Amino acid sequence: MTRFADLDRDVQRKQMESTIRTYFDGCNEADVEKMAATFAPNAVHFFPPGLDGPWVGNRTIAENWRRLTLTIGSAWTIDRLIAEPESLQAVIEWTHYKTRPGGFLRGDEWYKFDPETGLITEIRAFYASAPDGREKVELQGYDYAEQGYHLECPVPRPHPDAEYTARRENE
């Protein structure tokens, strides 16, 4: 098997983008297996201070996102994505919709990829949370609509499994 780092740069770039998009699809679908398969087993997801991180391990990351999808109606878009095969890194801008409490926030994440497998080994999330009660967290004065950003939740919420999960938690 060819090492990921030895593949053609265009192939690497496409695979990096595909891996990130598959991860986000898994998040929106609350599909633990789909998400976990995009990560190295010992991957780490770092968060800003005060947000219960880091999350360590591909299944831990996936299970935590499934829980948030089902409990607060989380859904995400990828608004921008740049992959750089030379450094085995990528960066994205995203929007995280929190449909149950209402509102959303926007942020960036840096990804590192394993040179052997091309799986995600690390995510570092950068964003401002809303401790002041704002429902929308985004740059002040930036015209998101004019720049082509998503302005509404991209998938139906609540997730179909959310009612089932809520019933199980109350038992």
Query: Which residues, including other chains, have CB under 8 Å from residue 22's CB and lie 6 or more apart?
Result: 34, 37, 38
pLDDT in tens, 85-142: 999 999 999 999 998 888 888 999 999 999 999 999 999 988 876 555 666 666 566 6
Taking each continuous run of H as one helix and of E as one strand, the counts in the chain are 4, 7
pLDDT in tens, 30-82: 999 999 999 999 999 998 767 788 999 999 999 999 998 999 899 999 999 99
**Euclidean distance between CA atoms 57 and 42, whole angstroms:** 4
Question: Within its chain, how far is the Cα of 64 from the centroid?
Answer: 11
Cβ contact 53:68 at 8 Å = no
What pTM did the predictor assign?
0.82
Dihedrals φ, ψ of 60, to 5°? -60, -45
Helix axes 58-72, 162-170, angle to 10 degrees: 90
Furthest-apart CA pair in the chain: how many Å? 52
Residue 166 has pLDDT above 80, yes or no: no
Instruction: Quickly state the pLDDT bin for 171 (edges 50, 70, 90).
Output: low
Strand partners, 120: 39, 113
